[in-house]
Structure 1
Amino acid sequence: MFLIEMLPAEYGDCLWIEYGKPGGRRYRVLIDGGLAGCGKILRKRIKELPVADRRFDLVVVTHYDTDHINGIINLLKNMPEGFGFDYFWFNGYDQIKPQGTRWVTQGEELSDLLRKLEAKTARQFWNKPFRRKAVMLPDTGPPKSIRLKGGMKMTVLGPNSKGVNLLFKEWDNVVKQEKAAAKLRKDPETAPEEDETFVPRDLREIQVASLAASGFEEDDSVANGSSIVLLAEYENQRVLLTGDAFPGDILEGLSRISGDSGKITLSAVKLSHHGSKNNNNNDFFSALDCRNFMVSTNGKRHGHPDREGIARVIHNKREEPTLYFNYNHGNSLVWSDAGLQQKYGYKTVYADNGHLKIDLTGQPH
């Protein structure tokens, strides 16, 4: 059994992973927590489990963006009875600062919560396999892999040292920008209006080859470039979890495990940055042999997924791909057209409430 569920994280990411032997114990991994409201959903979901079964192998916050981190902060502030984790991976200031740096930033909320939780439980879980330093790809040699309690292998493919060093240099700015953005979203008088009634343009405008070939300008967000990228492997299934990382950086990590053996075979890929055209290019998808692609976003705030990003998935396909969208909004629904699917050879699966579960093994669960 290997299940991945995209939870309703609005325009963010929250991935609930379950794995294990049929009829046996279920092991769990949580990747990101979406916006603050998703924390309530996570808390409710955890409380539906027996108290004795609320422990996770691993919780990961891929990077310091509100649509990935705030739900986790919300959850940790009011943890359900029995909830806990063996490992927690997050690159805070203490993890990325060069050795010998003594100054510590103030007000970084998740780091404060984790420090207090470690003190309360008398346990060390924060980036423990990495000697409490940054979870990252080494400059040379193979990526670091961790075998979780239930047998899942987690290999860290990113960020690289460039992404970590840039985050350190820009840490104050990153934190201030995210706090300002969060405050803006909470203030209805100053928050920008959102177009929640997006209407797809004429379907005749969609020419996959032209969209795929459109100019690519790589994302330059420092926060996104610091994303923790993971390869999750269990029972011959391999899933690439990308956060909001840059495609070139992801390929760098994959090349460390694939060598020059041709295309990289994967069972599923969570599209980086919610399908943004600036985080998904032809070089990336042409290097993959994969049929399942997940897109987590309700399309608000940034209008993701971009048509160019999805077109590049389809254009570089090896076999008929399936696109999984956890919201059925205009930006994703445009790809539901039967004529487009027949013409370009792909399938779509939609959820209408943000919950979408993918079973990678087809085993009973």
Structure 2
Amino acid sequence: MITVEALSAREGDCFWVEWDDGPVRRRMLIDGGTRAAGRQSLARRLARQPVDAREFELIVGTHMDDDHIGGLTELLSSPPEAFRTRDFWFNGHQHLLPPDLLGPTLAHRLTDLLSSAGTPWNEEFGGAAVVLPADGDDPLPTVDLGGLTLTLLSPTWDGLRKLRTDWDRRLARRAPAAESGPADLLGGPRRSPSIPWHRLASEYSPDASPVNGSSIAFLAEDAADGTRVLFAADAHAEVLTASLERLPGRPVDLCTVPHHGSPYNVSPELLQALDCRQWLVSTDGGRPVLRTEAVYRSGEGRHPSLRTMARLILASPRPTLWFNHRVASTARYADPFLAARLGFRAEYPLPGEDGIAVLVGPGTVTRAPTPD
């Protein structure tokens, strides 16, 4: 079984993962949320962890967005007592093509911290990029963490090349990464019409962001009982789909919703490739909702998208949605009438909880107690 804690990561991701390898309890950390989340939620979680159990098999910075690596820069800047990791996966600028220039602020900061501290960095890949083989006929890379096997699903070399071009362009401008999709916003409240769930589910266009396309995503499988969890980061749906279609067609017991529920990262084809009914959504809503959906939910954060949620809910019978924040954009799914009409279940953090924790087994996901 695999325990997944989705910490309160603001608009980002921070997943604390644990599993048993015989008598040994092992753990990994996937992203750190925003810098504020790193100073707060992640710092509190580490403080609760016994000093003699602060070693990680792996820490992953899935890609260079601030809401994923911000908290990791805080962690490495002021590591707690006895903290260490056996490996740290992050594709820095030097992994994209032959190195020359340095990149955007937080990604540059993270690479400096990894280098200066002598942290093992992409060691499972010989210090090179964490990336799928250039030859599509080669098998997907697998890594044994001791009781847990990771199968890499993203990124491709094409994704890293596009990131390199984007990284250098923004370095010249000193501008932040652009949000994928149209950036049209709507101001002012208005009466919301009824939501056409089935029509919204059919509306899909792919993510064009080079940053998201560089995301490290993988399938984790427990060696003891075969439990499978897909950690999707902000990866492109088309890359995930192509990788999943190369694997045996077994169910995935839990999937983190790509890109916090963005409408551009969950395609109908991905849902067909994924036999999954349990979905973990990590977001506090983020920036204001896009105009295309604001007519239905003015004043909310843009994540998770109605279009994505419609696809998740309608793609399989009786799915369960696990949220690590209860905010305006997620609380609508607590409506028992909506849940009964569309056939889903929604779970949220209990009062006083810092995010949500789940225990994942073959065909089952239940609420796990959060550490004291």
Do they fold alike, i.e. is TM over 0.5?
A: yes
Cα-to-partner distance string for 1:86-131 (whole Å, 9 max, x where unaligned): 110000012222xxx352426611111101111xxxxx62001111
Question: Once the 2 structures are TM-superposed, how far is the Cα of residue 233 of structure 1 from its aligned partner?
Answer: 0.7
- Counterpart CA distance in 1 for 2:255 and 2:170 is 27
Q: Name the counterpart of 1:296.
A: 282
The correspondence of residues 122-141 of structure 1 with structure 2, limited to 5 A, is: 125-139=120-134, 140=136, 141=138
Task: Report SS of the residue matched to 1:153.
Answer: strand
- Counterpart CA distance in 1 for 2:214 and 2:10 is 22
When the two structures are aligned, how many residues end up with a matched partner? 335
- Counterpart CA distance in 1 for 2:129 and 2:60 is 12
- Counterpart CA distance in 1 for 2:73 and 2:190 is 34
Which of 168, 173, 176 lines up with 1:172 in the alignment? 168
The gaps in structure 1 that reach 5 residues or longer are 119-123, 183-192
Distance 1:198 1:116, change over 3 A: farther
Matched, 1:209 2:206: no
Q: Name the counterpart of 1:220.
A: 208
Distance 1:175 1:340, change over 3 A: farther
- Counterpart CA distance in 2 for 1:279 and 1:211 is 14
Distance 1:217 1:34, change over 3 A: same
Q: Name the counterpart of 1:328.
A: 326
Question: Once the 2 structures are TM-superposed, how far is the Cα of residue 19 of structure 1 from its aligned partner?
Answer: 0.9
- Counterpart CA distance in 1 for 2:19 and 2:78 is 26
TM-score (norm 2): 0.83
Distance 1:102 1:68, change over 3 A: closer
- Counterpart CA distance in 1 for 2:331 and 2:246 is 36
Task: Report SS of the residue matched to 1:116.
Answer: helix
The gaps in structure 2 that reach 5 residues or longer are 178-184, 289-301
Q: Name the counterpart of 1:355.
A: 355
Q: Name the counterpart of 1:313.
A: 312
- Counterpart CA distance in 2 for 1:335 and 1:363 is 18
Task: Report SS of the residue matched to 1:360.
Answer: strand
- Counterpart CA distance in 1 for 2:367 and 2:226 is 13
Q: Name the counterpart of 1:186.
A: none
Cα-to-partner distance string for 1:177-232 (whole Å, 9 max, x where unaligned): 7x7449xxxxxxxxxx999x999945xx2232111012x22111110010001101
- Counterpart CA distance in 2 for 1:176 and 1:83 is 36
Matched, 1:338 2:327: no
Contact 1:294 1:325 (C-alpha < 8 Å) held by counterparts? yes
Distance 1:46 1:212, change over 3 A: same
Question: Once the 2 structures are TM-superposed, how far is the Cα of residue 176 of structure 1 from its aligned partner?
Answer: 6.8
- Counterpart CA distance in 2 for 1:96 and 1:138 is 14
Task: Report SS of the residue matched to 1:265.
Answer: coil
- Counterpart CA distance in 2 for 1:198 and 1:126 is 48
- Counterpart CA distance in 2 for 1:200 and 1:61 is 41
The alignment's C-alpha RMSD in Å is: 2.6
Cα-to-partner distance string for 1:301-338 (whole Å, 9 max, x where unaligned): 15100000000011111x31100111111111112221
- Counterpart CA distance in 2 for 1:355 and 1:166 is 34
Task: Report SS of the residue matched to 1:289.
Answer: coil
Question: Once the 2 structures are TM-superposed, how far is the Cα of residue 287 of structure 1 from its aligned partner?
Answer: 2.3
TM-score (norm 1): 0.85
Q: Name the counterpart of 1:89.
A: 89
Q: Name the counterpart of 1:187.
A: none
- Counterpart CA distance in 1 for 2:318 and 2:229 is 18
Distance 1:313 1:153, change over 3 A: same
Which of 143, 147, 153 lines up with 2:140 in the alignment? 143
- Counterpart CA distance in 1 for 2:191 and 2:57 is 41
- Counterpart CA distance in 2 for 1:50 and 1:112 is 28
Q: Name the counterpart of 2:55.
A: 55
Task: Report SS of the residue matched to 1:20.
Answer: strand
Question: Once the 2 structures are TM-superposed, how far is the Cα of residue 175 of structure 1 from its aligned partner?
Answer: 5.3
